[in-house]
Chains A and B, each alone.
Chain A
Amino acid sequence: MRREIHAEWTKLRTVAGPAWLLAGAVVLTVALSALAAAVVSCATAGCGQDAARISLVGVQLGQAMVALLAVVAVCGEYSTGMIRTSLTAMPRRTTALAAKAVVVGGLTLGAGTLAVLGSVLAGRLLLPGSGFTAAHGYPPLSLADGPTLRAAVGSVLYLVLIALLSLGLATAVRDSAAAAGAVIGLLYVFPVVILMVADPEARRLLWTLSPTNAGLAVQTTVDLASLPIGPWAGLGVLAAWSAASLVGGGLLLRYRDA
């Protein structure tokens, strides 16, 4: 497995795209988080806002870059024909996919950590200016606080799981345009479609099944009781999606011609 990981790392390291995408993920995440922290206002005590969630809202934009990284890592090989060389050199296909998952997941873990730390820092600096002061019941955002730490760590894991979900989906779809469309549809359009379901019970159920809605529950630090699903359980739903997509992608890779 070490050799496979080394091969995958070399492939990603030696083209310019992934580095730009990772940088883009960090910049977009921190920028949107900082913007949200600057414009959201909390005028009075008990304004009901979730400071941790606001300062981590950039994750919702950064995930597009992370998903694109996974799509490019897989579909790039198919569009250039590199996949045939890869599979000749690494005939154990599932191991090759696992190695890819390790490398893409590791890179996302690094970039995600930077992005989340930057977002929390931006929130810590900007939120007091928007009225999130101790007088209104908001101490400065700090990772020493249990729920905030859970939201931050959960957001990093969320990004990693989104990368793995996209990787499995891209392996199954192979065409980069279709894979990008499918991933973006799942991440952004599915939550909108849920809003069109009128039946509240069905809507709540779909909400808990949707990878983005359920996964982002891990960022919530206030009013946990009103969530349809607990923070870690929500991340578990996303993990199930990622596992299913990796297994499905792996099986297709294993039993299909390249």
Chain B
Amino acid sequence: MTAVTPYRSGLRAGRDGFAQLLRAEWTKLRTVRGWMAGLTLTTLLIVLLGVLFATGSRSSCMNGPIEVPCPAPPTGPGGEAVEDRFYFVHQQLDDDGSITVRVNNLTGQLRKPDVTPGVRNVVPGVTPWAKAGVMIKQSVRQGAAYAAVMVTGSHGVRMQHDFTEDVAGRPGGAPRWLRLTRTGETIVGEESADGSRWTRVGTARMATGRVRVGLFAASPGDLTVTSNVIGGAATASRFAEVTADMDQVSVRGVAPGGSWTRDDIGVTLEADGTPHHPGGLVRSGDTFRITGVGDIAPALEGMPAERVLTGVLAGLVVVIVVAVSFVTAEYRRGLIRTTLLAAPRRGRALVAKAVVISVAVFVFGLVAAAVTVPVGRALLAGNGNVLAPLAPLTGLRVIAGTAALLAVVAVFALALGSLFRRSAVAVIAAIVAIVVPYLLATASLLPDEVARWLLRLTPAAGFAIQQSTVTYEQMTARFAPAEGFFPLPPWAGFAVLCAYAALALALAAHRLRRRDV
């Protein structure tokens, strides 16, 4: 009898942890020249297209016949670009005090698109955010801190301060009593229907010291959007002014017998020095009839940071191709059999693949965005363009978010590649899911509401992470995807994309476990 000893390899068994899987997948990605070339191409496309856009965009303004750099918009206390133009009738207030007024009515006129070319078509009307009321402002400089309580065209009573803050009071319009009371650093805004029972609308803080207190009126332009179905829409803001009748004015804390000063804050001047669309005050006895043009709100002036990142669209296509090939190539070459022999827990193998491709794409995307945003902005500024201010944290979110967007799309494409096992089908499916809805929504081809739904429901919602402009309800603008405004907040939009990627990856893992290779 010979005892048969079963064969045992002399090699020590290797570890089969997740780290080994990651290393194996990274080796595969790293050693295929085409894939590394593809990822490098992504970076180059994003940077070069951004630079191309930035070098080509020039802007300048005319001061009469002379070309001058465009003036930067005024900035508010928080550093944001603001619109600060209104008619102000005011007195000096050194310390504590208050102002009370009754707003009897708001009337106004709007300029509508010309019916007969060359003839101004002005109709009576009040824009939704036309406003008039009482204000305490640190100085008459544009952008200075303020607190105001006001009656608006169709948004009821509002207490607003420092441009970005807006608190709604009761709905409804004039007649309405309004009051601002300053005690130390606190300013309280109140409203009343009859002048005896008062309701608090909101409070604001303002440094102590000498300020201006008075009455104001302002009306943002009348916004009309004319859409042209096969190729864009035109947004126009036309002249609008509001006139408010106010009486029962009582001011406490000012010098006795103090006189009213008038200021048309921020009025644009014609070349000959006369004001363009001036406001005004007509005073008869105790009645103040104030007419104002302009707006007091955060502004959308300047080019937002994400405009230089349009090359991401081209980069995405390359990322999708690389991510799909990263898995379909295994099927084509038969490597998938080796992979799954070495890592029999198939779901884990797929997750390792997703981690490797997403980290690699994130790094390449991060380099691209971190170069493109500052370089593009510097080039744009050098060409005389006004840039929208970019807060450091927002800038970080735009840059890292762009890289994350690319990385999550890579995971999504990888999952589709694993699901379909056919590269061409998976590439087209990923592009149709992400790039096409984005193009359709932003090209003004669809009605605004349809475009918004596309960017809520499809994976293209993830592009919201790139939006750097903050929107406020009190701004007058066309908040459509075609103008760069996404319907979802940045992180919510990104979460929609992540949900799609996670769903696709889960389906792919399920399918991979259940199906022969």
> Which A residues contact B (CB, under 8 angstroms)?
36, 39-41, 49-50, 53-54, 57, 64, 68, 71-72, 75, 79, 175-181, 184-185, 188-189, 192-193, 196-199, 202
Contact = CB atoms under 8 A, between A and B. Distances in A.
A64 B439 CA distance: 15
Contacts of B427: 176-177, 180-181, 184
A181 B317 contact: yes
B127 interface: no
Nearest to B58: A198
B321 A177 contact: yes
The 9 closest A-B pairs by CB, nearest first: A198-B56, A177-B423, A181-B321, A180-B427, A176-B424, A176-B423, A177-B325, A196-B53, A180-B424
Interface residues of B, number: 36
Contacts of B436: 188
A191 to B, nearest CB: 9
B328 A54 contact: no
A78 to B, nearest CB: 9
B439 A188 contact: yes
A36 B56 CA distance: 34
B414 to A, nearest CB: 11
Given A50-B230, A79-B332, A198-B57, A189 B428 contact: no
A189 B423 contact: no
B380 to A, nearest CB: 11
A178 B424 CA distance: 8
A177 B230 contact: no
B318 interface: yes
Interface of B: 34, 38, 49, 52-53, 56-58, 229-230, 310-311, 313-314, 317-318, 320-321, 324-325, 328, 332, 417, 422-428, 431-432, 435-436, 439, 447
18 contacts: A39-B447, A49-B229, A57-B230, A176-B424, A176-B427, A177-B417, A178-B34, A178-B38, A181-B427, A184-B428, A184-B435, A185-B318, A189-B314, A189-B317, A189-B435, A196-B56, A197-B52, A198-B58
**Which of B53, B427, B439 has the most CB atoms of chain A within a 10 A radius of its CB?**
B427
B435 A68 contact: no
Determine chain A's interface SS by DSSP, over half rule: helix
Contact of B435 (A180, A188, A202): A188
| Chain B, interface SS category | helix
B428 A180 contact: yes
A37 B365 CA distance: 40
Contacts of A175: 34, 325, 423
A11 B490 CA distance: 48
B428 to A, nearest CB: 6
Contacts of B417: 177
Given A177-B324, A188-B439, A189-B435, A68 B424 contact: yes
Given A39-B229, A184-B317, A189-B317, 9 more contacts: A39-B447, A54-B230, A184-B427, A184-B431, A184-B435, A188-B435, A188-B436, A193-B311, A197-B52
B34 A64 contact: no
A133 B449 CA distance: 27
A198 B432 CA distance: 28
Contacts of A71: 424
Nearest to B315: A189
A72 B428 CA distance: 12
A202 to B, nearest CB: 8
Contacts of A189: 313-314, 317, 435
Nearest to A197: B56
A185 B313 CA distance: 9
Contacts of B38: 178
Nearest to B447: A39
Contacts of B425: 68
Most buried by A among B328, B417, B447: B328
A72 B426 CA distance: 12
A198 B49 CA distance: 12
Contacts of B426: 177
A192 B439 contact: yes
B310 A192 contact: yes
Contacts of B424: 68, 71-72, 75, 176-177, 179-180
A134 B435 CA distance: 38
A76 to B, nearest CB: 8
A13 to B, nearest CB: 19
A54 B445 CA distance: 12
A188 B34 CA distance: 23
Please indicate which of the listed interface residues A53, A57, A177 has the most CB atoms of chain B within 10 Å of its own CB.
Answer: A177
Nearest to A40: B229
Nearest to B324: A177
Nearest to A48: B228
A181 B320 contact: yes
B56 A177 contact: no
A193 B310 CA distance: 8
A180 B230 contact: no
A196 B49 contact: yes
B46 to A, nearest CB: 12
A40 B435 CA distance: 23
A176 B422 contact: yes
A41, A64, A185, A196, most chain B CB atoms within 10 A? A196
A226 to B, nearest CB: 12
Contacts of A40: 229-230
Nearest to B442: A192
A134 to B, nearest CB: 21
A192 B53 contact: no
Nearest to A170: B424
